[in-house]
Amino acid sequence: MNKQSCNMTNWTTSPSPHTRNGIRQNSLPPKDSRLNPKTSLIVAFSFAVLLLIFSTPSATAQEFVAPQGDVVSRDVREMYDRGLAYLVSTQTDDGTWASSGERGAGTTGLGLLALLASGEDPNFGPYRTPIRKAVQHLIKTQSDSTGYMGPSMYHHGFALLALSEAYGAVDETDLWAGSSDAVNRSIAETLELGVRCALTSQKSNPLGAWRYSPRTRDADTSVSGAVLMGLLAARNAGIEVPDENVDRAIKYFTSMTGGNGIVGYSGGLGGFGESIARSSIACLVYSIAGRKDLKQYEATKSYLINNLSESSSWPEYSRYYQAQALFQADIDAWEKWNRSLVRKLKSAQKEDGSFQGDLGPANSTSMGLLALALNYRFLPIYER
């Protein structure tokens, strides 16, 4: 367990009121199939008929919701499947990815998100085992007393995001079947404890945001974006996240956003110059938090639409946020940018299905796939 704490207080948790037997009532695709948007309407109709004929009440029944989106190109499908094959083949026995010193809850979370975003049924599909191993790893990584999932708040934020997307999709009734080191904590309880950790860290920070350590008193927009997106995803999943905490974090982002849409890194505007990644992060959190009324949102949106080129530094990290921000802000701009992204990633993908980058093969592959995943739009956080 991680020893670094968000607070020395021991917390107790209780199941969320949005759960039944610790499992969120949410949507699942039909068993043993990926709902390619091209056939989703046919499948949705057929599944609805079957439900009317055969369904019986169940404590863990999931409401079916057909995905949205246009036809996904063959190039995207093939790249995605090859990338997932790489992630599955390199996942460690304990459920994470450990190449190039990447090991941590955030790396596990990104891999889990990429698997979930494929649209394959997480309980009966081909990725059932790696999905379960990743969920188990995140639950076991969490500090029992503080809820921290390290080794930094970066990792904590991505872990929160991944568990929020898994919550309600992954059937927990047999999550620990065959495991010799099961943890008596559900996904709901893990999320609630993780949210409390993030909120406790924010409370002690005079800027109302986050940096690498949960006890730090300064902040930056990169780490804060990861944590805030985790909190927003948890709220979307039904976990309580007070509006005042979201508002305080958004206030930090507005203070770091210039009138031209350029977003500072830390210590005020202009830190480290222009960054497509930081402008994308700010634009995205404004969108997901429901604050498109802000002038800072309009500024970052305009900046991104007028700068559709790719970042030369940490491109995989920038793509991950740029894809989501453009998709939420302007679907036409996203479609134009996405066509270019598909061409670049097709030429960049390695023989083994990985994408190489500054963040190492596991993180770079997961982020590359998640930039492509907007073509599928299976994850709740991708909804517009």
Amino acid, res. 198: A
pLDDT in tens, the chain (384 residues): 444 446 433 333 333 333 333 333 333 333 333 444 434 433 333 433 333 333 333 333 233 233 444 689 999 999 999 999 999 999 999 999 976 666 799 999 999 999 999 999 999 999 999 999 999 999 999 999 999 999 999 999 999 999 999 999 999 998 998 888 888 899 999 999 999 999 999 999 999 999 999 999 999 999 999 999 999 999 999 999 999 999 999 999 999 999 999 999 997 665 658 899 999 999 999 999 999 999 999 999 999 999 998 777 889 999 999 999 999 999 999 999 999 999 999 999 999 999 999 899 999 999 999 999 999 999 998 888
Spell out the alpha helix ranges (H) of 261-310: 276-288, 295-305
Residue 350: CB atoms within 10 Å:
13
Rounded CA-CA distance 128/33 in Å is 12
User: CA 211 to CA 218: how far, in whole Å?
Assistant: 6
- 79 closest CA partner among 377, 380, 375: 375
Instruction: Output the pLDDT for position 33.
Output: 39
368 burial via Cβ count (<10 Å: 0-12, 13-18, 19+): buried
How confident is the model at residue 271, as a pLDDT? 63
Contacts of 179 (CB under 8 A, 6+ apart): 136
Three-state DSSP class for 349? coil
User: How many whole angstroms separate alpha carbon 8 and alpha carbon 280?
Assistant: 35
- Residue count of the chain, please give it: 384
Instruction: Report which DSSP code applies to 59.
Output: T
Q: Are 321 and 286 in contact (CB under 8 A)?
A: no
* pTM of the model as a whole: 0.83
Q: Which residues contact 333 (CB under 8 A, 6 or more apart)?
A: 304, 305, 308, 326
Instruction: Copy the structure tokens of residue 60.
Output: 């863990």
Q: What is the 3-state secondary structure (H, E, C) of 219-262?
A: CCHHHHHHHHHHHHHHHHCCCCCCHHHHHHHHHHHHHCECCCCC
Q: Tens digit of pLDDT for each residue in 91-121?
A: 999 999 976 666 799 999 999 999 999 999 9
Q: How far apart are the first and last CA of the chain?
A: 37
What is the predicted pLDDT for the residue at 180?
Answer: 80
- Residue with the two structure tokens 């770079």: 364
Judge whether 185 and 136 are in contact, CB under 8 Å: no
- 20 beta partners: 23
63: left (phi over 0), alpha (psi -120 to 50) or beta: beta
Q: What is the pLDDT of residue 314?
A: 87
Name the residue ranges covered by the structural domains of the chain. Answer: 19-382
The 3-state DSSP class for residue 198 equals helix
Q: Of the candidates 238, 266, 192, which has an alpha carbon nearest to the alpha carbon of residue 18?
A: 238
Three-class SS state of 19: strand
d(CA 9, CA 98): 31
Top CATH class of 19-382 equals mainly alpha
pLDDT tens, residue by residue, 183-230? 889 999 999 999 999 999 999 999 999 999 999 999 999 999 999 999
Counting Cβ atoms within 10 Å, is residue 56 exposed (0-12), middle (13-18) or buried (19+)? exposed
Q: Give the distance, in angstroms, between the CA of residue 371 and the centroid of all CA atoms in the same chain.
A: 11
User: In this predicted structure, what is the pLDDT of residue 2?
Assistant: 44
What Rg do the C-alpha atoms of the chain give, in angstroms?
Answer: 20
- Comparing CA positions, the residue from 27, 34, 30, 37 lying closest to residue 68 is 37
Q: Compute the mean pLDDT over every residue in the chain, rounded to the nearest whole number.
A: 84
Residue spans of alpha helices (H) in 36-186:
40-54, 74-90, 105-116, 128-141, 153-166
As given in the structure block, the two tokens for residue 360 are: 């190492």
